[in-house]
Amino acid sequence: MSPTNPYDVQAMLDSIPAGLGKLIPEGILILTFLVAIIFEIFPGRRFSKVLPFWAMTGLVGAAVVQFYLLVVGFPPQKIAMDMLWVDRMSGVVKLLVFVPAFISMATFHQSETKSVHTSDGKGTYFLLMIALAIGLSFLTMANHLMMVFLALEMASLPAYVLTAYSRENKKGTESGLKYVIFGCFSSGIMAYGISWIFGLAGSLDPTTADFAAQLQVHPIWMQGVAWLLVFVGLAFKVGLFPFHFWVPDVYEGAPFPVASFFSVGPKVAVFVVLLRLTACLHLGFSPGLESLLLAGFSAMALGSILLGNLSAMFQTNVRRMLAFSSIAHSGYLMVGICTFSVQGGASVLFYLTIYTLMTYGAFMASGWLEERKHSQTLDDLKGLSSRAPALAVIWIVLWVSLSGLPPTAGFIAKLEIFLAATQSYQGAGNLVLLVLLIAVVLNTVLALFYYLRPPAMMLFGQPKISSPIALHGFQGFVLVFLAVIVLILGIFAFDALSDFMLKVVDEFHSGVRF
């Protein structure tokens, strides 16, 4: 849908409404957000009661429409003056954002944590979550680097506030502040990188042949520095080594429905940006730049995997442990990115889906316990299997899946990345991939040290109190559902899911060709 003459303003303006049909989910969210603001303005009790339901309905509506669009299918398309790229890849990831966001909202609404409720303006939480969802949603579609930056900021600002949401929680405030400072810093770096790129290429749309040709004229180191700055910004947002240090603090300090959403939604969306950029770079740029990036990416991957797993071993707090585990998982995902192939992209998308299921589940399971025991420490898991057998079983399934052992979906996700990397290695013979593979494999063993600890504590230890903890309500249902899905996808039907991801990524790749 791109206008033939880049300076034809009329054609540009005309092209905008043509693409709006694909943006209905975002439209719904924006409408929800605006109406919710009006609700917030009126001080009446009635409005503050309606607001959560309004926000959740809006999100569900957006998710349903998005699901419909995904099922119906449509040719990938660039819209809004090539700023956005609507394709099924963004569709899949938007669902991975909307659904956890909805569950987090519902959990928050039901949450028994009194400390959160007493702080005034409960409605603000729902507003911020919607804003965050809008930002992430645009991020998944961003094609133009300016759009990437805008969407990232749109998502970051609500995230900063959400982290420090409960005022009584000192840790929350501290981690919120850390998050803001590091976040702004990394945004600045990224903006600087984008300006370099604009200076070098004269445009910010990496999918055009013109962009590639212009950029190629400049020396490799200049291109390298420019892209490095951009990727630093993105690496910060997904918590990749060496830009990971905010992750454990934020995951520990934020209210748990927020932390559990942070561990999945934003990460998933940013990884799609990484996928898009690397695909463009792979298809349109010099091999010199590619090997430079490969070196950087593999260093990040190795660092994240090692640091994540080694640090997680020494944690006594479940949330911090999950935070380091999520850093390690970012590293595994980077291995998929390092393949620069369609297959690798598909394996990353597959991994993201499974990652969302299991990490979100693990966070929720620990949140369920936290609310009832007011503690995040590992010691409090002792003897849980006799107090809460159902929760313990779910917990064990999810943690085994996180560690990547069969017969769980986590194992299949890892296997897909292995297969993609092996295929890539066999094609290009790049030794880096082989080294990465071996590192991942060794780390699986390392990671078992801490992934086994919570299940072992639950089964081996003796509980201090023996009152039973039952699973019930919406959260109970979600937890059971997640554990069952993780088990089923570990044995059956994952080929259908993985084939779908392959189609989706292939569609995207064939759209990028110059």
Partner 1 sequence: MTPWLTILLTLPAAGLLLTMLLPAGSNQLLKRVSLGTTLLQLLVGFGLLLPAYLQKLPDNQGFALHEKWQWIRLDMGTAGFLNIEYHLGLDGMGILMVLLTCMVMPLVVLSSWNNQHRNKLYFVLLQLLNLSILGCFMSLDFFLFYLFFEFMLLPMFFLIGLWGGEKREYAAIKFFLYTLFGSVFMLLVMAGLGFSFIDPDLTASLGRTVHTLDFLHMSGLADGTYPNLVAGSVFSHGYSLFGLDARALAFWVLLIGFAIKLPSVPFHTWLPDAHVQASTPISVILAALLLKVGGYGILRIAFGIFPEAALSSATWVAGLGMISILYGALVAMSQRDLKSLIAYSSVSHMGFVLLGLASFQAVGISGAVLQMFNHGVISSALFLLAGVLSDRTHDRTLSNYRGLWMKMPVYSAFVLVAFFASMGLPGLNGFVSEMMVFMGAFGSTEGYVSVFAAISVIGIVLAAVYYLRTFRQMFMGEFSYLGTGDSGSLQDLDGREKTLLVPLAVLMVLLGIFPSLATSLFDQSLSEYVSNLIQVAKP
Instruction: Tell me the closest approach of the beta carbon of residue 413 to partner 1, in angstroms.
Output: 13
Residue 353 touches partner 1, criterion: CB under 8 A: no
CB closer to partner 1 out of 43 and 429: 429
Q: Is 245 in the site for partner 1 (CB under 8 A)?
A: no
430 near partner 1 (CB under 8 A): no
Taking alpha carbons only, the member of 417, 288, 284, 280 closest to residue 347 is: 417
Give me the least distance between CB of 346 and partner 1, in Å please: 8
Burial grade of 17 (CB within 10 A; 0-12, 13-18, 19 or more): exposed
Nearer to partner 1, 64 or 445 (CB): 445
The two tokens of residue 152 are: 């990232």
Which of residues 52 and 344 has its CB atom nearest to partner 1 in the complex? 344
Min dist. Cβ of residue 419 to partner 1 (A): 5
Under the binding rule (CB under 8 A), the answer on residue 409 touching partner 1 is no
The secondary structure of 231-242 as a DSSP string is HHHHHHHHT-TT
Residue among 256 and 494 whose Cβ is closer to partner 1: 494
Q: Are 102 and 67 in contact (CB under 8 A)?
A: no
For residue 379, give the DSSP letter: G
Measured from the CB atom, is 138 or 411 closer to partner 1?
A: 411
Judge residue 480's burial from the number of C-beta atoms within 10 Å of its C-beta, 0-12 exposed, 13-18 middle, 19 or more buried: middle
Beta bridge partners of 377: 317
Cβ nearer to partner 1, comparing 35 with 415: 415
Exposed e or buried b per residue across 327-359, where buried means at least 16 C-beta atoms within 10 angstroms of its C-beta: bbbbbbbbbbbbbbbbbbbbbbbbbbbbbbbbb
What are the helix (H) ranges across 73-143?
Answer: 88-110, 114-118, 122-141
> Minimum Å distance from CB 344 to partner 1?
10
Looking at beta carbons only, is 69 or 489 nearer to partner 1?
A: 489
Which residues inside 288-347 make contact with partner 1, applying CB under 8 A?
341-343, 346
**Shortest distance in whole angstroms from residue 427 CB to partner 1:** 8
CA 289/CA 212 separation, integer angstroms: 12
Q: Which residues pair with 142 in a beta bridge?
A: 84
How far does Cα 280 stand from its chain's mean position? Answer: 21
Of residues 3, 76, 296, 407, which one binds partner 1 by CB under 8 A?
Answer: 407
- Closer to partner 1 by Cβ: residue 98 or 450: 450
Indicate the residue among 298 and 444 with the shorter CB distance to partner 1.
444
The reply on whether position 405 binds partner 1 by CB under 8 A is yes
Q: Which residue is associated with the tokens 């986590």?
A: 410
Considering the complex, what minimum distance in angstroms separates the CB of residue 488 from partner 1? Answer: 13
DSSP state of 27: H
Least CB distance from residue 434 to partner 1, whole Å?
7
- Between 9 and 442, name the residue whose CB sits nearer to partner 1: 442
- Span of 201-209, 297-305, 408-416, 475-483 interacting with partner 1 by CB under 8 A: 408-416
Site track 433-472 with partner 1 (rule: CB under 8 A), x = hit: -x--xx--xx-xx--xx--x---x--xx------------
* CA 308 – CA 312 distance, rounded (Å): 6
Instruction: Output 123 or 404, the one with its CB closest to partner 1.
Output: 404
- Choose which of 47, 192, 425, 463 interacts with partner 1 (CB under 8 A): 425
Nearest distance in Å: CB 441, partner 1: 5
The span from the CA of 397 to the CA of 419, in Å, is: 24
In the chain, how long is the greatest CA-to-CA distance? 74
CB of 494 to partner 1, least distance (A): 7
Select the residue interacting with partner 1 from 224, 406, 463, 476 (CB under 8 A). 406
Contact 369/262 with Cβ under 8 angstroms? no
How many C-alpha atoms does 228 have within 13 Å on its Cβ side? 14
Residues in region 55-84 near partner 1 by CB under 8 A: none
Q: Which H helix or E strand runs over 349? A: helix 342-373
Least distance in angstroms from the C-beta of 414 to partner 1: 8
Residue 281's H or E segment, with its range, is helix 265-284
**Does residue 269 contact residue 136 with C-beta atoms inside 8 Å?**
yes
Q: Is residue 20 within the footprint of partner 1 (CB under 8 A)? A: no
Binders of partner 1 among residues 475 to 494 (CB under 8 A) are 491-492, 494
Helix intervals (H) in 374-491: 384-387, 389-403, 409-428, 431-451, 453-460, 473-491
Q: How many residues bind partner 1 (CB under 8 A)?
A: 41
Q: Pull the structure tokens for residue 119.
A: 């702080």
Chain contacts with partner 1 (rule: CB under 8 A)? 341-343, 346, 385, 400, 405-407, 411, 415-416, 418-419, 421-423, 425-426, 431, 434, 437-438, 441-442, 444-445, 448-449, 452, 456, 459-460, 491-492, 494-495, 498-499, 502, 506
